[in-house]
Structure 1
Amino acid sequence: MSLEASVGPLAGLRVVEMGQLIAGPFCGQLLGDMGAEVAKIEPPGEGDPMRNWGQGGTPTAWRVIARNKYSVALDLRSAEGQETARQLINVADILIENFRPGTLERWRLDPRDLCAANPKLIVVRISGYGQDGPYAQRAGFGGIGEAMGGWRGIVGYPDQPPARMGVSIGDSLAATYGCMGALAALHHRHQTGRGQIVDTALYESVLQVMESMVPEFQVNGWKRKRSGSTIAGVAPSNVYPCRDGEYLIGANQDAVFVRLCAAMGRPELAQDARYATHLARSAHMEELDGEIAAWTSTLTVRELEAKMIDASVPAGRIYDAEDMLADPHFAARGALVTVDDPVLGPTTMQGVFPRLSASPGRVRRAAPRVVGQDTEEVLRRWLGG
């Protein structure tokens, strides 16, 4: 498969991706979506385990996470594979890896040596606990990072064990921060001519989105706890029942709450001392939710949605994939794109994000069908062999 014209703000950059499963490969997907040429190194034979992941009868996860990539089959446990990888890295701009710390060093691919040979190289290292510290050598998957970073402990209901999201959010956050680190390092390279190592830990990536959890305890002695479908101190903000489904309403800001009460035909609630202020609503969350639920349960989702739009109250339906495929807003913004996939045929998946006005990225090519299908092409173009 020949290289298509590279487009996007990262066009011209070469990326070697050595990671497997989600964290490293999603970082590579983000860079590839923005125009970088990504050489995905896979072990000969079965390749990345992601090729067999996905719900339903036909695996689909690989078709998304490996788009805009070239499959290069190398055995990194062999001297020959290590030497070929080293040659590719010597002409690359970015290397991504998400192995346990020390693995690259055992494979004679120590990032310090790689950077010495290629001073412009940026190495994105993604691991469970980071490259140093007492836990560095522990095995770490995304869920473990979610637990240590504070996410798992506050998700779910108080009388039940911690819940999880239905996606691997810890891995995706680490990949996103790894990508952000690579872009920051690129800017530094533009100024200095030199690359650097980006150390990204799963648990620290989760920690970054935990808002004020730590100072809330350090300053106030207050620990966040599981609160089900609500969040402590924010009301009303919940999923409410309708006659034919459920609907999310977020009207915790004072002026928005006034508009919600008017839409309910209950303007007096906004003046009620129990609900008139943010703090008062927080203290009386359950009874306020009961008032709102009693009203929403008399309406269909469509009727409630119309009222919330008219009242300019932030609210929305709970979407699944079928809803997304049918929604005109997704289509109008290109949030979903259809890729002519050699395995699945025309396949719809999330589009490139974020959108840039002058140099937008796009899905230039489908995920590699066969392990190592692009090995000869990449070696020829990159190494001139």
Structure 2
Amino acid sequence: MAVSEPKGALDGLVVLDLTRILAGPTATQLLGDLGATVIKIENPKTNGDDTRAWGPPYAQTTDGEQDLSAYFMAANRNKYSVAADLSSPEGQQLIKAIASQADVVIENYKPGGLEKYGLDFATLTERHPRLVCCSISGFGQTGPNRDQPGYDLMAQGYGGMMSLTGEPDGTPMKVGVGITDVMCGMYATIGVLAALRHRDATGEGQHIDLSLVDSQMAWLINEGTNFLASGDLPKRRGNAHPNIVPYDVFPCADGHVILAVGNDGQFGRFCSAVGLDQLSGDVRFVTNSLRIENRVALTAAIQARFQALAMDDILSRLREVKVPAGPIHTVGQALSTDQARARGAVVAMTHEDAAQGEVRLLGNPLKFSKTPVTYRRPPPRFGQDTDQIVRSFGQNPPKEPHSPD
């Protein structure tokens, strides 16, 4: 007897994806990884999602076309791609047909931008009251800035993150990747799942209003509440932590070491392990509060000691006494570690249009015991599934892992 593969947790769920760039596609890819059928609508006037052109690098394709940028592939697996023009009656008819059989619609048009096409939440739910709709925008559906566009960099600046990032006397810096977009996509996924639970319990769909800036402000976390509790503006500290010392990057004889001492017991073991016993009994450093107060003197003493020690020596000593410390990997080193291989940090997906026969992507970090994440469809070529989806609707929406045919 053949053993059937386990179904994803969201098997049978149909998601209409009206998003582009990163925040929305992050959410819809995650839903797709969990088993949902995701139908991505792409604008034929712009040759699809903007990020298809955000290269190099691109995946090498058998036809030489460059519509699979690495950026696009980062957030668009497990999706069908449909070329449809929202401004045309034909495009609107197709999208409405898909919405009529969908459970979720996620969009990131400017507030009010879908109303003229009859594709907004109010219009769609008049006929389909069980539909869950999530709208992602720069500043949200309300407020004085609702009509302003938003990109990750602008949200990091407006939302306060850049004021915290970088060296103390340097230029405010963004985080190295589009973390506001990614976190907004995560919030969107959580919101959709919560709304679906409500829908399944009551039969009522609902609208989720989510913005990049709101998401950014929400994940200021301890630095945000530090300000709210004290009234003091947080400062840029480079790699140092505002509430824990020593928690920083320290140069050593042959590189750099991350040191993350989280409590007084770890501090004592750290001092003993690296030959700084005199610091553990110093009245300036016996508690974390005192170490914060005297961080400059403590940091200078650690730096002086580490410059005489090799990185592997430091890490070995601290590993032995269970003090958190680690190296700073390049991206290549990180994705090549034994830990990354053991945890599936990189996945290879067969792609019939790729010159190498496959594309390599970052894996989903979720590990389920019953409904594992699946990698069913590689990032699609632009519009590759249009004919299949047109044939399928209004019959039955495609069910994973089978073709819509």
Q: Distance in 1 between matches of 2:271 and 2:392?
A: 65
Conserved? CA contact 1:15–1:39, under 8 Å: yes
Can you list the C-alpha shifts for 1:117-166, whole angstroms capped at 9, x where unaligned? 11111111100111111111111112222222221111112322210111
SS of 1:65's equivalent?
coil
Partner of residue 52, structure 1: 53
Give, as a single letter, the amino acid of the residue that structure 1 aligns with 2:27: C
Conserved? CA contact 2:105–2:131, under 8 Å: yes
Q: Distance in 2 between matches of 1:20 and 1:56?
A: 19
Identity %: 35
Q: Does 1:383 pair with 2:394?
A: yes
* Corresponding pairs, count: 381
Q: Does 1:312 pair with 2:322?
A: yes
SS of 2:81's equivalent?
strand
Q: Does 1:285 pair with 2:295?
A: yes
Conserved? CA contact 1:351–1:362, under 8 Å: no
Q: Distance in 1 between matches of 2:307 and 2:56?
A: 33
Q: Distance in 1 between matches of 2:58 and 2:184?
A: 29
Q: CA 1:311 to 1:362, structure 2 compared with 1: closer, same or farther past 3 Å?
A: same
Partner of residue 33, structure 1: 33
Map 1:215-364 onto structure 2 (within 5 A): 215-341=225-351, 342-343=353-354, 345=356, 346-364=358-376
Conserved? CA contact 1:40–1:69, under 8 Å: yes
Conserved? CA contact 1:130–1:136, under 8 Å: yes
Q: CA 1:6 to 1:137, structure 2 compared with 1: closer, same or farther past 3 Å?
A: farther
What's the offset of the Cα at 1:8?
1.4
Give, as a single letter, the amino acid of the residue that structure 1 aligns with 2:162: R
Give, as a single letter, the amino acid of the residue that structure 2 aligns with 1:377: Q
Q: CA 1:148 to 1:135, structure 2 compared with 1: closer, same or farther past 3 Å?
A: same
Can you list the C-alpha shifts for 1:311-335, whole angstroms capped at 9, x where unaligned? 1111111122211232011111122
Q: CA 1:219 to 1:98, structure 2 compared with 1: closer, same or farther past 3 Å?
A: same
What's the offset of the Cα at 1:361?
1.0
Conserved? CA contact 1:6–1:12, under 8 Å: no
Q: CA 1:338 to 1:298, structure 2 compared with 1: closer, same or farther past 3 Å?
A: farther
Give, as a single letter, the amino acid of the residue that structure 1 aligns with 2:78: N
Q: Distance in 2 between matches of 1:309 and 1:383?
A: 60
Q: CA 1:176 to 1:210, structure 2 compared with 1: closer, same or farther past 3 Å?
A: same
What's the offset of the Cα at 1:212?
4.0
**TM, length-normalised to structure 2:** 0.89
Unaligned runs of 5+ in 1: none
Conserved? CA contact 1:233–1:283, under 8 Å: no
Report which stretch shifted further, 72-81 or 288-297: 288-297
SS of 2:347's equivalent?
strand
Q: Does 1:109 pair with 2:119?
A: yes
Q: Distance in 2 between matches of 1:344 and 1:124?
A: 37
Can you list the C-alpha shifts for 1:163-209, whole angstroms capped at 9, x where unaligned? 01111111111111011100000111111011111111111111111
Conserved? CA contact 1:125–1:199, under 8 Å: yes
Q: Distance in 2 between matches of 1:118 and 1:240?
A: 58
Q: Does 1:92 pair with 2:93?
A: no
Q: Distance in 1 between matches of 2:139 and 2:224?
A: 18
Conserved? CA contact 1:11–1:34, under 8 Å: yes
**TM, length-normalised to structure 1:** 0.94
What's the offset of the Cα at 1:56?
4.1
What's the offset of the Cα at 1:6?
8.5
Can you list the C-alpha shifts for 1:47-100, whole angstroms capped at 9, x where unaligned? 111112245465312222111010011001112111111111111011111111
Partner of residue 20, structure 2: 20
Can you list the C-alpha shifts for 1:278-320, whole angstroms capped at 9, x where unaligned? 1111112122122222222223322222122111111111122
Partner of residue 183, structure 1: 193
Q: CA 1:187 to 1:223, structure 2 compared with 1: closer, same or farther past 3 Å?
A: same
Report which stretch shifted further, 196-205 or 317-326: 317-326
Unaligned runs of 5+ in 2: 60-68, 397-405
